[in-house]
Amino acid sequence: MGDFHYLGWDNVNPDHTCIKRSCEAASARKLTMVENSELRKAGLKVTLPRVKILQMLDSAEQRHMSAEDVYKALMEASEDVGLATVYRVLTQFEAAGLVVRHNFDGGHAVFELADGGHH
């Protein structure tokens, strides 16, 4: 199984189930691969801030998030992404069709993933 070490398959039990930590790491890698693919399909270069923000929107408990909500969630997760970067990336995501912006009175805006279902 040495050839599969780089894929995270080196920690497989005899019954072919992953050890918990390896499964979590493999799941995180798969999730990141999905986000990388989404960014590329949208014509965007894959960067760490874009991946982190896309993951945050995808995993958020609340469906609609403001740029400030995304920034606070990233800070709570100890991610080093500035507020200006969050605004810039969300605007890029909107232009690429990855997110939908909902504007409210007073200039407040929230974002949701474009593939979100119903309201």
pLDDT digits (tens, 9 = 90+) for 25-80: 444 444 566 677 888 888 888 889 999 999 899 888 888 999 999 999 999 999 99
Asked whether residue 119 is assigned to any structural domain, the reply reads no
The reply to whether 118 falls in a domain is no
Which DSSP category does 63 fall into?
Answer: S
Q: How many structural domains compose the chain?
A: 1
CATH code: domain of residue 67: 1.10.10.10
Amino acid identity of residue 19, one-letter, is: I
The two structure tokens encoding residue 23: 């499964």
Does residue 95 lie within any of the structural domains? yes
Lowest mean pLDDT among 10-14, 59-63, 68-72, 109-113: 10-14
Residue 105 carries which DSSP code?
Answer: G
Q: Which residues form the domain of 88?
A: 2-113
List, in sequence order, the alpha helices (H) in 8-62: 20-41, 48-59
**101 within a domain of the structure (yes/no):** yes
Task: Establish whether 118 is an annotated binding residue.
Answer: yes
Q: What was the pLDDT predicted at 60?
A: 82
Examine residue 19 and state whether it is found in any structural domain, yes or no.
yes
